[in-house]
Structures are given as structure tokens and as C-alpha cells.
Amino acid sequence: MLASVITGFGGTELFAVAEIPEPVPGPGADVVDVTLAGVNYADVHRRRGEHEKPPLPAVLGADVVGRRRSDGRRVAALLRSGGGYAQVAAPLRRYTVDIPDSVPDEQALAVLEQGLTAWHSLHTLGRIDGDDLVVVTAGAGGVGHLAVQLARWAGARVAALASSPAKREAAIALGAHVAVDSQHPDLGTAVSRALGAPPTLVLDSVGGKTFEQLQAALAPFGRIVAYGVAGDVANTVAVDDLMTTSTGVHGFWLQRVLDDEELYRSSAARLFHLAGRGVLRARIGGRYPLAGVGQAHADLESRATAGKLLIDVRRLT
């Protein structure tokens, strides 16, 4: 099979298409002929050798859609050890879900991993309700644009943060009531003015100064859910400050959902149901051939894209 492989850690130029053996499924795994693979920021960190270093040579890619060889069914799967940028994958059955006929491949791929993060950040940790004033950072990004739609569907008033007018327009088109420049020097004040009052729930994937400003802007009893650190700057939270402001900080890691197979499957089914009804519509930010994985990573890192990036592994160039 063909795959996009890295043999070292560093820049996007490391990706090269190579012929490698098909993966051999271990216990509890299936063979899937991949049609599309997703590009996620976690793959960028792995390519750089940050946080975790996969054994080399490595095939990255954490989510795929395709057909299961055993029965020909369309499936979506999460690959916790990578392997998605290839024509064949061997995901564990516990991380593999059937795709309803009403949901196209690209929508299934786009709403699964990012949708799970958006859903559980909003509902499981954020405990969103219709009275909330919600801020979503990277509101036109892979998770953010789904979180905007889910928050709007829950009845909340939603402010999306984005770095360009085009991305802010996209967030408005997807349901955000207002959109704010993510580079505003006084971000907390800007979002409070846009919402008409201090936010009660913030979803943050950026960290650093953005996290600090939005945490400080929270209304009493508000909460911030951190699910990423795209800015590569970690934050320290003072418990005394939380007590004084009566606010809360939560962290989300998708693996905790995957540890509970029933929760994972029920959450995926809910997202596919909403996608099938047209309530949740994933925006596709780019579609690349197998030889274009490096370009997809470069585009993701540049913050030039909006929505989910896909790799069509059936196309070489």
C-alpha cells in the first residue's frame, strides 16, 4: 500500500509517499480500506516530536473513514497510535463506528473527532444551557466551527473568535451571533461588549494570553474549558483566583471519552444523527492528495484554513 511517511521529526518537508506493507490487525482490530484521512493539530505536534514521539518511520493521522473489509460497511475510526495517512488502516473495533447512509464520508470524518471534542466540552464539562453566553476560540477551525453550531443549537448566545474577516464571516454564517477579532488587544472587554455581558462559558484551544484574558473576563460562576494549546504556551491557574471570582477551569482530553466505549459510541451516534438531519454541518477547509500531506500541515500551521482538512488517500497527486 501507499502511505505518507516521516523518518524524522521536524518540518513539513519530512513527509514522503512510500510503498509499505499493509498493517496486520492485532486482537480486536479490523482492516479498513481508507478513503479519507483527517488532519489534526495533534499530528503537527507528533511530526515535530513534541509531547510524544511515535516510533520511526511513522505514519501519522488519527482519524479515517473507509470500508471495513470484513463486511464492506462504511466506517469511521479513530487511530490512537496513528496510521491514517495510508491506503489501509487497522483500527481497533472499539474505536470504529458505522456511518449512517444519510452522512457522506467527508461529513462523517469531519464531525467525529472534532465533534466529540466540541460536544463534551460544551455539554459534559461546560454544562451548557440556553441562558449561557458562550465564547469559542478559533471559531472557524475544525473543532471551533462545530462548537459554534452546537452551542447555537443548545440555545446559547455565541461569540466566535477568529483572526481574519473571512473567518469571522464564516463563523457568523454557521450560527455565531457575533464574531470578534482574536488578536484584539483587550480581548476580554471586546467579547463582553459583543455579547452584551461577560461570558459564562468559554471553549479555548489556544492557551497563553488568550486563555488568561478570557478567564479574567468570565462572569461569576462562569467556566472555561481548555481542550488545546495551539499557541504552545501553557497556563498556570491560581486556586485563590478561582475562589475569589467563583469561576471554574476544566480541561478536556478526548482519550477520556474513548476509555468509555459506550460513551464514545453514543456520542458518535448523536453527532451523526445531527449531521444527518443537517443540524451539524462540517465545513471542509481543504482536500489534499496523499502527496500533499506536508502542504496540509503547512496550511494548518499557518492558520490560513477554516474547517476540517482532508487527505484523499486514493489520489497520489
The residue assigned the cell 492557551 is: 207
Asked whether residue 84 is domain-assigned, the answer is yes
132 inside domain: yes
Q: Are residues 14 and 129 in the same domain?
A: no
Q: Quick one: average pLDDT of 13-39?
A: 97
- Helices 261-277 and 105-119 cross at an angle (nearest 10°) of 120
- Whether 20 is covered by a domain: the verdict is yes
Provide the pLDDT for residue 41.
Answer: 85
Are residues 59 and 125 located together in one domain of the fold? no
Do 241 and 125 lie in a common domain? yes
Same domain, 135 and 213: yes
- E-strand ranges in 113-228 read 133-136, 157-162, 178-181, 201-204, 223-226
As for how many domains the chain has, the answer is 2
Higher per-residue pLDDT: 53 or 159: 159
Residues 89 and 59 in one domain: yes
In this structure, are 123 and 94 located in the same domain? no
Rounded to whole angstroms, the Cα distance separating 38 from 156 reads: 29
Q: CATH number for the domain including 223?
A: 3.40.50.720
* pLDDT score recorded for residue 22: 97
Residue 304: per-residue pLDDT: 76
Provide the β-strand partners of residue 204.
226
- Among 1-5, 188-192, 227-231, 264-268, which is the least confidently predicted range? 227-231
Domain boundary at 215, 235, 255, which?
255
Per-residue confidence (pLDDT) for residue 100, from 0 to 100 = 97
Q: Say what the pLDDT of residue 234 is.
A: 80
pLDDT at 306: 77
Confidence of residue 267 (pLDDT cuts 50, 70, 90): very high
Could you tell me which residues come within 8 angstroms of residue 304 by beta carbon, excluding any fewer than 6 positions away?
A: none
Q: What is the pLDDT of residue 72?
A: 97
- Interval 4-16 mean pLDDT: 97
Q: At what angle do helices 105-119 and 144-153 cross, to 10 degrees?
A: 70
Which pLDDT tens digit goes with each residue over 238-265?
899 899 999 999 999 999 999 999 999 9
CA dihedral 197, 206, 151, 189 (to 10 degrees): 10
Statement to judge: residues 75 and 15 lie in one domain? yes
Q: Are 37 and 98 in contact (CB under 8 A)?
A: no
300, 232: one domain: no
Residue 110 within any structural domain of the chain: no
**Which pLDDT value is given to residue 51?**
76
pLDDT one-digit tens code per residue, 133-157: 999 999 998 899 999 999 999 999 9
Q: Is residue 141 part of a domain?
A: yes
133 in Cβ contact with 155 (< 8 Å): no
Shared domain for 179 and 90, answered yes or no, is: no
What's the pLDDT tens digit per position in 269-314? 999 999 999 999 999 989 999 999 999 999 998 877 777 999 999 9
Considering only the C-alpha atoms of the chain, give the largest distance between any 2 of them, rounded to a whole number of Å: 59
What is the pLDDT, as a whole number, of residue 228?
85
Is 142 inside any structural domain?
Answer: yes
pLDDT digits 0-9 by tens, 55-88 = 999 999 999 999 999 999 999 999 989 999 999 9
* 49-53, 84-88, 93-97, 292-296: the lowest-pLDDT one: 49-53
Residue 204 covered by a domain: yes
Domain that holds residue 82: 2-98+283-312
| Average pLDDT of every residue of the chain | 95
Who's near 255: CB < 8 A, 6+ residues apart?
A: 80
Do residues 40 and 167 share a domain? Answer: no
CATH, residue 49:
3.90.180.10
- Asked if residue 108 is part of any domain, the answer here is no
